[in-house]
Structure 1
Amino acid sequence: MRVLVSAPSREIERALRTAAESAGFETAGETLPQDLCSALFRDPDGIGVIRALNSAYAAVVCRDFRRADVKNILFVLLDAGEFDSGAASLILRCGADDVQPAPIHTDEFIARLKALVRRGSYNDHLFIKMPGCVYDADTGLVEGSDRKSRLAPAEAKLLTTLALDPNKVFSKADLMDHIYGGEDEPEQKIIDVFVCKLRHKLLEMNDGLDVVRTVWGRGYQFEPKGFEPVFRNRVRAPR
């Protein structure tokens, strides 16, 4: 397993790589965050170590990596002058697996690397990628280019349920159970209302592509790559 390090200086990078190598890890250094992102994507078992001077930078890097579908372990070492519980929680919410103040003692650095390896890959934070936007389950925001839209709680549960299992067609009963959990359930036709509202918000964000497919007679299914929606012309019956 490789440890890939991005640090603000070669000296810090070499120190972290030397520590990791002393514990038997292979290492590599990537100067720029985008290079580290690409390297991690190509090496899904690698661990990304990000030495950051400020919390805003670390949070943005972690968020961007997760949005780029990087599922590797991310270990952030944040400058001690910037480290506090608020900064650490922000970076963790943006996708880091561990955040510690830096500089860090070699023994603790190695111990935390090994603990992260035992824990396995990152799976806590959910980003749902669509053709023209990304939904962040932690914030409830759908963002694409310069546009943002916040999903209502029921819309968020609907999208999350569908997206977590795109191969499954969910019946209205399935979706009712996920949204309401069997408590104070309205009539099932409310699902059609939620789907309509969700589609309305996502169509523009996805440049006219729909990501919620109606499977007639069965329910709804998530289409991550989107499709051209076909609206049937309804002919009103004569009175």
Structure 2
Amino acid sequence: MRVVVSAPSREIERALRAAAEDAGFESAGETLPQDLCSALFRDPDAIGVIRAVNSGFAAVACRDFRRADVKNVLFVLLDADEFTSLAASTILRCGADDVQPAPIHADEFIARLKALVRRGTYNDHLFIKMPGCVFDAETGNAENVARSRHLTGAEAKLLTALALEPDKTLSKTNLMDRMYGGIDEPEQKIIDVLVCKLRRKLIEMNDGLDVIETVWGRGYQFRPEGFPPVYRNRVRSPR
């Protein structure tokens, strides 16, 4: 497995790469964040190590990587002067898999790399991509370059439950389990109400395309590529 390092100096980069190589990892270095992003995208099994001197920079970098659909493990080493619980939690929410103060002892660095390997790839689904917008779980907004629509907590849970298993039909019971887990569950008909409200918002944000398909008699499924909405004809009863 390869470790790709982005660091503020060649000296720091060489030290981190040497520690990784001593533990049996292959390594590479990328000076610029955008180059690291490209390298990780090309090698989805690699671990990205970001040695940051500024917490804001680290958070933005992780956020941008996840928006670019980089699913690699990201390990952030943040300058000790910048490291706080708030800074670390913000960087984690933006998509990092681990955040530690730096400099870090070589033994701990390797131990954490190996723990991240055991844990596997990033699967936070912080961003859900659709044809015309992206849902950002941190802000609760479906966003594109022109506008955004806020999703309620229940709508966000429903979208996430469907998007975690794209193209799989989930029954209302399945969705209730994923959204509420048996705790304070409302009536099952809430799923139909939420789908209706969520679908209306997402069709607007996806330039008229629907992403939630009704599978009659079975449930709903998420189709990230989008499709033209299907409207049922309503027949008025004779008076």
TM-score by structure 2 length? 0.89
Residues 112 and 182 (structure 1), Cα distance of their counterparts in 2 relative to 1, 3 Å cut = closer
Distance 1:12 1:145 in 2: 37
Partners in 2 of 1:123 and 1:179 — Cα distance?
18
Q: Is the 8 A contact 2:172 2:188 kept in 1?
A: yes
- Write the distance in 2 (CA, Å) between the matches of 1:231 and 1:222: 17
Q: Compared with structure 1, are the counterparts of its residues 208 and 78 closer, same or farther at alpha carbon in structure 2 (3 Å cutoff)?
A: same
- Cα deviation 1:148-170 (Å, max 9, x = unaligned): 33221221221122111223222
Change over 3 Å in CA distance of 1:53–1:169 after alignment to 2: same
Unaligned 5+ segments in structure 2 are none
> Which residue in 1 is equivalent to 2:25?
25
Give the deviation of 1:47 after TM superposition.
Answer: 0.8
> Equivalent residue for 1:89?
89
Structure 1 residues without counterparts, runs of 5 or longer: none
Counterparts of residues 75-224 of structure 1 (less than 5 Å): 75-124=75-124, 126-182=126-182, 185-224=185-224
Give the fraction of aligned pairs with identical amino acids, expressed as a percent: 80
CA distance in 1, matches of 2:73, 2:122: 6
Quote how far apart the aligned CAs of 1:146 are: 4.1
Distance 1:153 1:81 in 2: 36
Distance 1:106 1:221 in 2: 46
Equivalent AA in structure 2 for residue 160 of structure 1: T
SS in 2 for 1:5: strand
Q: Which residue of 1 aligns with 2:12?
A: 12
CA 1:230–1:60 in structure 2 vs 1: closer, same or farther (change >3 Å)?
A: same
Q: Which residue of 2 aligns with 1:46?
A: 46
Deviation, 1:18, is 2.2
Residue aligned with 1:77, SS: strand
In the alignment, residue 54 of structure 1 is paired with which amino acid?
N
8 Å CA contact retained: 1:5, 1:29 = yes
